[in-house]
Structure formats: C-alpha cells, structure tokens
Amino acid sequence: MPDVTKLIEQEHRQVEVLFDSFRETGDSGVLTKLCDELDAHAAAEEEAFYPAVRDDVPSGKKLTNEAKKEHGEARQLIGRIRRTSDPDHVVELVNALERAVNHHVVDEEEDMLPLARRALGEDRLVATGIAYESAKAKAQG
C-alpha cells in the first residue's frame, strides 16, 4: 500500500493525461471522466488527507484552508462545464479548470506533500492512504 502522498501524485498525473486526452479529442466521455475524477479526488483529500495535514504539519491549517478554497474554485468550474452545451464555451471552461488544477497541483507537490512526508511518518502516511482510498471509493459512489 503506497502512502497517501504517492497516491495523490499518481492521481495528479492521471488528471494531466485526461486533460491532454480531452484537448486532443474533444471527447465528452473523457471530459465526464475528468470531472468525476477531480470531484472524487478533492472529496478524498478533504476527508482523509487534509485533517492529518491540518493537525500535524507546521502551517497545516493555512495550507489546507488554501487547498480547500482551490477545490471550491475547481468545483464551480466543473459545475459550469457540466451545465454548458456550447462546445466553444466548454473548451474555455476546461482551459480555466486546467489552469486552476495545475496551480493546485504545484502548491500541493511543492509545499504540502513534502511537509506531510516529513511530519506524518511512514506508518501514518500509509494509514492515511488507506483512508484516502476508502474516501475516494465512497465519493465515486
């Protein structure tokens, strides 16, 4: 079982592939999968990972508050994407979503994940990874 930080990084790479695939194909099925993946990822982070960071990582409260704000922005864009039927507007919204997600990924991978690795220790990272996978499965229905 990988630790939660490795799971999160793997999902970041998977989302990058989905953005690339949508950009190349314009396939609405890829877009649905992308939005569903982002929703489940955010829910799992908020339920399983952020509480550990908030409680045990120096500056964790600030980091998780900012990350939750970024999740809210992404969720708003996802909602607009899901409600939009104009293909050109969908592309604009997906581009905005990709910029927001890329910013969030950089914040997590440069700041939060390294701090969590140092502060939480291997056993807690693995236990949080198990909780993360459970929370994600629940979010996916």
Predicted confidence band of residue 138 (pLDDT cuts 50, 70, 90): very high
Mean pLDDT of 34-38: 98
Range of the domain at 18: 4-139
CATH of the domain at 101: 1.20.120.520
Q: Is a pLDDT exceeding 80 seen at residue 40? A: yes
**pTM over the 0.85 mark:** yes
Q: Is a pLDDT exceeding 80 seen at residue 1? A: no
One-letter amino acid of 56: D
pLDDT score, position 38? 98
Write the pLDDT tens digit of every residue in 53-98: 999 998 999 999 999 999 999 999 999 999 999 999 999 999 999 9
Query: In Å, what is the CA distance from 119 to each residue of 24, 98, 138?
Result: 40, 30, 27
Q: What percent of the chain has pLDDT over 90?
A: 96
Q: Name the domain count of the chain.
A: 1
Q: At what angle do helices 87-107 and 4-25 cross, to 10 degrees?
A: 160
Q: In whole angstroms, what is the distance from residue 128 CA to residue 107 CA? A: 20
pLDDT score, position 21? 98
